[in-house]
Structure 1
Amino acid sequence: MHKKPQLSKPCILVVDDDQATCFLTTEALKKEGYKVVVGANGEDAVHLFKQESPDIILLDVEMPLKNGFDALQEIRQLNEGANVPIIMITGLDDTISVDKAYGIGATDFITKPINWSILGHRIRYILRANHTFLNLKHSESSLANAQRIAKIGNWEWDVQSDELYWSPEIYRIFGLSPEVDSSTSKAFMRLIQREDIMHLKIALGQAKNGDRRFSYERKIVCFDEQERIFIVQGELITDQDDKALHISGTVQDITERRNAEDRIIHLAYYDTLTGLPNRQLFQETLTQTLQAEDYHNKLAALLFIDLDRFKQINDSLGHSFGDKLIKVVARRILNYLRKSDLLSRNHTNADGDVARIGGDEFIALLTHLEHKNDAKTIADRLIEKISEPIQIDGKEIVITASIGIAFYPDNGDDFISLLKNADTAVNATKEQGRNNSLLYTLAMSKQSEQKLTLENELRKAIKNNELVVHFQPQIDTATEKVIGVEALVRWVHPEKGFIPPDAFIGLAEETGLILPLGKWVLNEACHQAKKWQESGLENIKISVNVSSKQFLYDGFIDDVKEALTTSNLEPQFLDLELTEGALMGDGTEIINRLEAIKALGVTLSLDDFGTGFSSLSYLTRYPLDTLKIDRSFIMNIGLSDDEAIIKTIIGMAHSLHLNIISEGVETEKQLDFLRQYDTQVIQGYLYSKPLIAEEIAKFIAEFNLSTGAHEEVQPQRGNKSGIQQTSAAAN
């Protein structure tokens, strides 16, 4: 675009081979205050234009070297010359030259002889007109650019002549060509889908008949066969007599905006991993369903589906694996509910009636049920479907689910109450062993409330030192002396009295309270062991049971160091007891943690071996010192085939040079069996129940004295540490 005219001292280029004409023109223009540059031929004209950038050019037609027409044409082809006013000077009767000049881009013409008295006024008028033209063009360019960015075009429909004006942007929006497609109302109507034409005509008619303004949004298949969303807005313009003249309006392509809004809505209402509705959308759907007039007093069920031990899979195999597993489970839930023959034909919205509300939690709405047992049957079959083997990344995995079921209207008449009660039912299912479904009962809520109360009281108990540690002695049957103790945490409630460990240890694991509880037990045990040593009870080893959450906690090894440091207990007198669950997961990470503990000088025991996911690989891969035979095997000696299991465990331990401790020994028959198979260290009520610190010290002193035990301890067979192995538990 040519620069905007400067009305103060504009520059005029005068080009004429007649020196007299040039002189007179120059003088006349200088008197009017203009700056004048003079050239003698067409080549001068082009050169001086490039050099001076004049605001207006007076150009003679007939000149040597290059005539005025050629110079005009060349200047117009320059970017800067497109809009500069060019006035051609020609003879009085030279109409042919005038026509030709206009044809190739002249702004105006002046005939010879020139009227010098009005020349300045004419130049001033042309400059002012060009200034207005440039401003208008700039405004149009800005508007066109803004319309292009906003994807909006303007139109005007003359209601009398039925002519329709389109702006250039409308052509681009609809994929049309100005050279091919006419801007008429009929052409526009051809763009509208047949079913939408009537709606648009009604909107236009209402505008003509008094509504004046209208807004109409529809999808339109454009000439490029792309479907887009447009909003058409218009306003009726009338004359003084309120007679309709035309309707002015805009057309805007809002496809991207609507798509962005749809994406935002999808993010707000759908789970990004599975594509299922989220809690918010499910709640709205359920509320609409249950509040519908035709659903009054009909039976519905809310299923709360919780995958069992998903966190363990996620932690051991990685979050990417876990995400893939969640997607497979989501598809299985959807597919089953779509095909279930127990769902009424009225239950047609299976996709919208399933939602993912948490990492491993789903909910499903079953409507138009005939009987409550139908929901139970559906849930049990769904559990079977979920638990079918899954192949992911070359690994086969089986995951189970627990389902809680709450019914409308019996267990709640809104989403919040139904979800709460279904959640309570699924928690009860997990407490009873998982991989099952339960119908909600009022007793579950009472039990849940009691559990919550107990959790709060346990927090206070840890803070207020209501917990105590008891100690159960472990006896070397070969020497008949106490060689160690197992630390057992006990809770003495100020109002409820003694609370058994199985009532709060699992709760502590579930709520994360096991971390502060376990750290407290570890510190108490180490300090007490040191006190016994200082009082003369030497070589008594103490073991502390470590939960899987404790073991995997990043600060656990620091907790062990702190307990040893603050108590001044030598590390060889501390044994940490791990369950098989703590050793499942990333083998490299487990080994690193175990070796870090061993580096401190602390020994390691595997508790309850044979009751969980027993694997010989644990015994060969991990740096363990001792196996503990669980009391569930010991109590069945002489009554079942568990004797064979005990013999196998003892044989493995001996071959791997591991120590053995048998816990839960209560009868002489059990003791005789264990002695027969060379199991020296015994723990159980046959010798003593767990005792408080003062009582256990007295017991050890009297027991060792009565049996004539020597002060020095002889190490067991295969004891890697040279110190007699014991066990301790925090449960």
Structure 2
Amino acid sequence: MATSNYENDELVFATEETSISYLPVERKPWTLLVVDDDEEVHTVTRLALNGLELNGRRLSFRHAYTGEQACKILGESAEDIAVILLDVVMENDHAGLDVVRYLRDTLKHPEPRIILRTGQPGYAPEEDVIKQYDINDYKTKTELTRGRLTTSVITALRSYQQIMALNSSRLGLQKIIGSMSNLMEEHSVKSFCEGVIIQLSSLIGLNAEGVVCARAGSVLEREDDGIYVLGAAGDHAMHINQPVEQLNNPHLIESIHRCLRLKQHISEPEFTVLFLQRAGFEAAVFINMQGDIRAAEQELLEVFLSSVSIGYENVHLFHQLRNAAFRDWLTRLPNRNEFINTLERQRTIALSQTLALVDISHFSDINDGLGQDAGNDLLRAVALRLQSELSNNVFKARIGNDVFALLGPAELITPQIINQLFSVAFTAHEHTIPLSVSVGLCEIDTTSRDSLALLKSANIALNLAKRKHTENYVFYTADMEQKTTTQLELIRKLRADFADAKLELWFQPQVDLINEKVVGAEALLRWPDGDGGYISPAVFIPLAEYSGLIVEIGHWVIEEACRRICDLDRLGYGDLRIAVNISIPQFRDQQFEERVKSALAAHDCAPDKLELEITESVVMDEPQIVIDALSALKAHGVAIALDDFGTGFSSMSYLQRLPLDRLKVDRSFVKDVGPKNNPVLAETIVTLGNKLGLATIAEGVETREQASYMIKLGCEEAQGFLFARPMPFDDMVNFLAVRQTSH
């Protein structure tokens, strides 16, 4: 959509495209209904009143010859009739009074003035009739000479005009008061503008017809500064929310522009344009009238316009509040709230639609590197491209810092179309910036769940897309949510079990390859599933890292390892070391170094008996943080080992900078050693370790052949099922006792 559906909800009231040309118009005549059963009376009345004008308006005549005919005319057009010249006795003695009762009691029209004429006054006593039936005048036909008839009609017309002015004023005030008190309701601006026109017209004795115009930016929040019709009354309502140029009257358009430019009223022979101003808001109010406004009316209008301006100040505030609630302040796109509202409406009426969430990759790096102003310009550039390149049938929104949402027909929202949008670099703050994105897509139809559930589904797909290393998009499938729910349940259970001290620390002995004497052990975390089994570390360690729980679990493992080192020393195994794996979230913990030192001190543990193991992936993630922390702990006496060396993208420069004591040869290299294979990688790692003065330990040794060959390569230590499986601490103590006896 080129513009959001909430951009001017309260100001869109008509869709017709016909136009009005504002030319001098002959004022509407007064309608006089003559009701009499005598044809001559009709003729004489027309002759007597021929040429009569009041306030520039002539008379027009309608005729009825019976009470029944009069009632029919009144039933069809009573609101157009100003005065009724009514005979009392026609088809029966009370036919005229029946007409009065029908008009006043049945039709409920108090406005038309009635001059009762009778040739037989005794049939309707004058005083009773005037009191009971709201009769304007009561005359016998012989009394109504031409002069007296003219006087009576003029008096009745003036009375009618005053009543209509009061009614119009009352209606106008009702609309203004109602609009101001209900400003937060839909269409309140329309009602307010219509009320302004009606009230202005009533103040100067005209029919309500005109328009209220203002610059778009002051109320409509459009990007252009054109002048638009905010509201209208009468035949002009078809132009509401359209540019003033749609009025198709150059003279009128120029006068409205001149009114706003000069900030003053403009009076023309065919119309008047009034200037309205309040707290920075300016509007031109066009009234279709002829002649200048009288001095008394001018004073009244000035007071009225001053009060009306306060209402427009409230309108402007209302739009600001609405925009804050439903529009993104930076890009002017709909925000998350409006996107959810639109999604809720669309999902119930449209088939084969697609919801897509588009996340800009590494946007925080752009903000940090180029500054927030450049970042803001970039987001605006992305929004502009989405608006200009995608179909108007696609609803666009910004629902997060660097996340845009798209909703539309499936054929218009595809990974290929979205990627094409980002294939050309963006210009922001004089920088040319290429962007990559991750896209989560969710197909929806009328059977889909509510809008929040759909947004959640697309977000699940987006998170999976961010973790993919091949394609940058993922379509949501039902099993994804089940997997996510399962993961969240596991995280919840892991958090609860850790708090209840249900996690266990097991140990796998490490031996000297020459004499197979136990020299240490690797601490391995175990999580009981509650049914006699254990949940694999390959499952729960990533969840612990994802949830951030790994920091606290890792600290507990270090504390537990130090406690077991102290226990081993007390049991006579003080020469053994314990190795503990450290993850990158632990290094990011500012208290990591102090926590390790505190654990050593709390258990009076020799620092060199604790060995911290890191993997290549940890080093490559944030090398400087890792190197700084390990260097500080190495200086404190803690031993450092590099695990899984050779399985990642090794950097020799980092290897030389790390304060290492030991290299671990990964099991994937150990399983290939032997006379029939060419274990070049295992040999290279052992040789490299020896040249760097580092001890080497082989992981995953399961056969004697593997052990013997690692000895030939110069490897010093090993761990694996050949020597011992991971075991609880008490079992390891028993294992050590047996080994000590046998060796």
Tell me the residue number matched to 1:72: none
Give the 5 Å matches for 1:267-282. 268-269=325-326, 277-282=334-339
User: Could you state the TM-score of these two structures normalised by the residue count of structure 2?
Assistant: 0.55
* Equivalent residue letter for 1:564: L
Q: Partners in 2 of 1:645 and 1:276 — Cα distance? A: 56
1:247 match: secondary structure: helix
Q: Partners in 2 of 1:639 and 1:217 — Cα distance? A: 93
Tell me the residue number matched to 1:286: 343
CA drift at 1:643: 3.8
User: Are residue 564 (structure 1) and residue 605 (structure 2) matched?
Assistant: no
Pick from 211, 214, 217 the counterpart of residue 218 of structure 1: 214
Q: Partners in 1 of 2:616 and 2:374 — Cα distance? A: 24
CA shift digits 1:688-713 (9 cap, x unpaired): 2101111212223333543x4xxxxx
Pick from 199, 205, 218 the counterpart of residue 201 of structure 2: 205
Q: Partners in 1 of 2:442 and 2:382 — Cα distance? A: 18
Q: Partners in 1 of 2:207 and 2:407 — Cα distance? A: 48
Pick from 425, 434, 453 the counterpart of residue 489 of structure 2: 453
CA drift at 1:354: 4.2
CA drift at 1:231: 4.5
Q: Is the 8 A contact 1:380 1:437 kept in 2?
A: no
Q: Partners in 2 of 1:640 and 1:319 — Cα distance? A: 55
Pick from 250, 257, 265 the counterpart of residue 305 of structure 2: 250
User: Are residue 422 (structure 1) and residue 476 (structure 2) matched?
Assistant: no
Tell me the residue number matched to 1:4: none
Q: Partners in 2 of 1:529 and 1:339 — Cα distance? A: 67
Q: Equivalent pairs: percent with the same residue? A: 30
Alpha-carbon spacing, 1:334–1:306, altered in 2? closer, same or farther (3 Å):
same
Gaps of 5+ in 1: 1-196, 237-241, 709-731
Tell me the residue number matched to 1:699: 735
Tell me the residue number matched to 2:249: none
Tell me the residue number matched to 1:303: 356
Q: Is the 8 A contact 2:663 2:696 kept in 1?
A: yes
User: Are residue 365 (structure 1) and residue 406 (structure 2) matched?
Assistant: yes
2:636 match: secondary structure: coil
Q: Is the 8 A contact 1:229 1:253 kept in 2?
A: no
Tell me the residue number matched to 1:481: 517
Tell me the residue number matched to 1:629: 665
CA shift digits 1:672-694 (9 cap, x unpaired): 44333212221222222101111
CA shift digits 1:178-229 (9 cap, x unpaired): xxxxxxxxxxxxxxxxxxx99998874365457999994612665489x974
Pick from 412, 415, 425 the counterpart of residue 379 of structure 1: 415
CA shift digits 1:224-247 (9 cap, x unpaired): 89x9741468999xxxxx999952
CA drift at 1:459: 1.1
Q: Partners in 2 of 1:399 and 1:631 — Cα distance? A: 40
Q: Is the 8 A contact 2:673 2:710 kept in 1?
A: no
Tell me the residue number matched to 1:230: 282
Q: Is the 8 A contact 2:336 2:397 kept in 1?
A: no
Q: Partners in 1 of 2:520 and 2:429 — Cα distance? A: 48
CA drift at 1:639: 12
Give the 5 Å matches for 1:601-620. 601-620=637-656
Alpha-carbon spacing, 1:320–1:466, altered in 2? closer, same or farther (3 Å):
same
Q: Partners in 2 of 1:231 and 1:272 — Cα distance? A: 25
Tell me the residue number matched to 1:544: 580
Q: Partners in 1 of 2:671 and 2:377 — Cα distance? A: 43
Tell me the residue number matched to 1:468: 504
Alpha-carbon spacing, 1:515–1:200, altered in 2? closer, same or farther (3 Å):
same
Give the 5 Å matches for 1:297-376. 297-306=350-359, 310=362, 319-320=368-369, 347-348=391-392, 352-358=395-401, 362-370=403-411
2:698 match: secondary structure: strand
* Equivalent residue letter for 1:598: K
Is the deviation greater in 620-629 or in 535-544? Answer: 620-629
1:682 match: secondary structure: strand
Q: Is the 8 A contact 1:466 1:493 kept in 2?
A: no
User: Are residue 597 (structure 1) and residue 651 (structure 2) matched?
Assistant: no
Give the 5 Å matches for 1:131-210. 204-205=200-201, 208-209=204-205
CA shift digits 1:544-568 (9 cap, x unpaired): 1111111110121222122112221
Q: Partners in 2 of 1:380 and 1:285 — Cα distance? A: 24
CA drift at 1:423: 2.4
Q: Is the 8 A contact 2:347 2:445 kept in 1?
A: no
CA drift at 1:541: 0.5
CA drift at 1:516: 1.6
1:475 match: secondary structure: strand
Q: Partners in 1 of 2:485 and 2:202 — Cα distance? A: 63
Q: Is the 8 A contact 1:485 1:540 kept in 2?
A: yes
Q: Partners in 1 of 2:352 and 2:605 — Cα distance? A: 65
Alpha-carbon spacing, 1:672–1:259, altered in 2? closer, same or farther (3 Å):
farther
CA shift digits 1:158-177 (9 cap, x unpaired): xxxxxxxxxxxxxxxxxxxx
Q: Is the 8 A contact 1:231 1:254 kept in 2?
A: no
Alpha-carbon spacing, 1:210–1:324, altered in 2? closer, same or farther (3 Å):
closer
Q: Partners in 2 of 1:229 and 1:392 — Cα distance? A: 33
* Equivalent residue letter for 2:638: V
* Equivalent residue letter for 1:283: I
Q: Partners in 1 of 2:675 and 2:479 — Cα distance? A: 37
Q: Partners in 2 of 1:390 and 1:649 — Cα distance? A: 46
Alpha-carbon spacing, 1:459–1:234, altered in 2? closer, same or farther (3 Å):
same
Tell me the residue number matched to 2:174: none
Q: Partners in 2 of 1:655 and 1:571 — Cα distance? A: 25
Q: Is the 8 A contact 2:212 2:283 kept in 1?
A: yes
Alpha-carbon spacing, 1:669–1:436, altered in 2? closer, same or farther (3 Å):
farther
2:650 match: secondary structure: coil
Tell me the residue number matched to 1:679: 715
Q: Is the 8 A contact 1:514 1:549 kept in 2?
A: yes
Alpha-carbon spacing, 1:335–1:208, altered in 2? closer, same or farther (3 Å):
closer
Alpha-carbon spacing, 1:592–1:428, altered in 2? closer, same or farther (3 Å):
closer
CA shift digits 1:349-372 (9 cap, x unpaired): 65x5242425x6x243241224xx
CA drift at 1:266: 5.8
* Equivalent residue letter for 1:682: A
Q: Is the 8 A contact 1:353 1:364 kept in 2?
A: yes
Q: Is the 8 A contact 1:203 1:214 kept in 2?
A: no
Q: Is the 8 A contact 1:215 1:231 kept in 2?
A: no
User: Are residue 665 (structure 1) and residue 719 (structure 2) matched?
Assistant: no
Q: Partners in 1 of 2:373 and 2:722 — Cα distance? A: 52
CA drift at 1:287: 3.6
CA shift digits 1:40-85 (9 cap, x unpaired): xxxxxxxxxxxxxxxxxxxxxxxxxxxxxxxxxxxxxxxxxxxxxx
CA shift digits 1:635-683 (9 cap, x unpaired): 4557999944434433433333233222223334433443332122212
Q: Is the 8 A contact 1:207 1:214 kept in 2?
A: no
